[in-house]
Structure 1
Amino acid sequence: MTTERVHPNYVAIWVWLVVLMVAGVLATRLPLEKSVVNNLIFAIAAVKAVLVALNYMHLKSENWLIYALAIVPVLLVVAMTLVLFPDIVFHR
């Protein structure tokens, strides 16, 4: 038995990535606080990273072990950010 993988529409994903890139660039023009704009740009970058990982790296069709291996570094980054946050904010 062969299991055929359904390939995503790469052109549509590429268009979404371009649209999100333009949105990130245009976000710098918004009349908002710098921290809000930075958070918006990081959120857009996270969405783009998920699109690339799921579609171009074919993680949609992988089993749960791949997700477990991918989530550990993310958790370490979040933990390190939370631990270092007081040092970054109150550095004076």
Structure 2
Amino acid sequence: MKPRRSRTEAVPEPSRSRAEAKLTPGSRPPHRRRNLGDVLDRPGRRFDRAWLRLQAEAHEQALWLGRREVRAGHSRWVKDLARDAAPVVRHHLHLVRAELDDR
């Protein structure tokens, strides 16, 4: 068995086709996409809610990409990293959603 790489070591970029690279979960039209600029422009509680929604979307995408890596990835180390990260990302997503429900 190949020794696990330290998480601080450089990981080679996975080779993906252009079509594969364009696939993203929940792709939306530009007017529906949130970005950091939209979040920063909001004051107070509106900032908090926008930030939480942005975090929820990012964590959902991270989970989707992690599942895809586990299924289709080449590097055992990267696949292990995706598998190991999933419970932490799910926990963070749960916290973000709980806070959104409270607001």
Instruction: Provide the TM-score with structure 1 as the length reference.
Output: 0.39
TM-score scaled to structure 2, two decimals? 0.36
Higher-Rg member (1/2): 1
**Which has a greater percent of helix?**
1
